Structure 1
Amino acid sequence: MKSAIFLEWFRYAVDRVGPGYWGHVERVYCYELYHYIRVAMHHHERTQGKVEDIFLHSELVKTVLSENDAQRYDVWPLGARRMPDFLFHTPDNFNNQIAAIEVKTAYLSQDKFIEDLEKLTELYRNYKYQLAIFHCTNTSIDRIRHLLKDISTDHIEENIKIECKEKFNEPMISMNFKDLKT
């Protein structure tokens, strides 16, 4: 399974979350987003064949592996337990680490933004996820750029996808993290 296919599903889903889910707490928005990602996945399976052994999970805790287990799986242990909003992967192994996603739907603080970027960086680098997505709604791309002003982000993975949709009826702005600061 290619991460580009999942990214298409994700963008399809974001475009279909209705106006009644905007302005609510993150969990309500994420339930609907999850539903539409599964709709896209189901359509893919009907037309392209079953997606084998890869699952969409929400708020799944990724635990810290021991050094021995990390070596066996050829990954680096995480620095702490991580619980991203969504994972698209094969559970209990590292064969299909497709996507890790963090979602923010309310006021975005600098601390929460950096915390989510660090979480995605660690999952991308240590657990070898092919795709790391930071998705926010109700926040402008200018606000995101402002949050990065005057702070060091050298430790943040430059390939994290920033998927920003400020309002329901506006298009999503998509870019890699490295392009935010330019």
Structure 2
Amino acid sequence: MHRLTELLAQAAAAIPRQYFQLPVDGQEDPIYRERVYCYELYHQLRSIWPRDCGYSLGGEVDKAGHRLIRGNDLDSAKPDFLVHVPGHMDGNHAVIEVKPVHATNKAIRADIETLRNFRDYAEYERAIL
């Protein structure tokens, strides 16, 4: 999956403006909704995902109760994206978290800790924020 950074950049560049700032009826200023952005990023990534790469792109895969990574603060983890081979721990390539520019330091630190735990305990090769 050596092209992941390139794929992420290409997919992000294709996201229309309304997915960054969601217009709200009755409100002058649009608002950022992380889920809306992530769903569109997932759509854009899936539309350019290489058919022969062997890795799957998963959105918000729930790791609750996973017998091999139980504990280590991963029991309730649902990262925004996983690039992996489902059913094979040796196919864990990347775990990705998305945060808005106005995210609090606390939220960013929490995501960094989750990413670190996925690298350390779930054997993901890459962690991307």
Fold-level match, TM-score > 0.5?
yes
Matches within 5 A, 1:17-166: 17-23=15-21, 24-41=32-49, 44-45=50-51, 50-52=52-54, 54-66=55-67, 70=68, 77-80=70-73, 81=75, 82-105=77-100, 107-134=102-129
Tell me, in whole angstroms, the C-alpha distance in 2 between the residues paired with 1:98 and 1:113: 21
- 1:97-122 CA distance string (max 9 Å, x none): 11101011262101101000000000
Aligned length: 117
The 3 A distance-change label for structure 1 pair 122 and 64 is farther
| CA positional deviation for 1:65 | 4.7
| Aligned amino acid, residue 109 of structure 2 | I
For structure 1, the residue ranges without an aligned partner over 5 or more in a row are 71-75, 135-182
**What are the superposed Cα offsets for residues 141-173 of structure 1, whole Å, 9 maximum, x if unpaired?**
xxxxxxxxxxxxxxxxxxxxxxxxxxxxxxxxx
**Structure richer in strand, relative to its length:** 1
Give the match's secondary structure for 1:103. coil
**Equivalent residue for 2:28?**
none
Deviation at 1:51, TM superposition (A): 3.0
Identity of matched residues, %? 29
Q: Distance in 2 between matches of 1:22 and 1:65?
A: 33
Give the conservation status (yes or no) of the 8 Å contact 2:72–2:121. no
- Which structure: greater helix fraction? 1
Gaps of 5+ in 2: 22-31
One-letter amino acid of the counterpart of residue 92, structure 1: G
Output the amino acid matched with 2:79.
P
What does the per-residue CA deviation read over 1:85-139, in whole Å, with 9 as the maximum and x for residues that have no partner? 11111122212111101011262101101000000000011111111110xxxxx
Q: Which residue, 9, 14, 17 being the options, matches 1:16?
A: 14
Aligned-pair RMSD on alpha carbons?
A: 1.8
Provide the TM-score with structure 2 as the length reference.
0.80
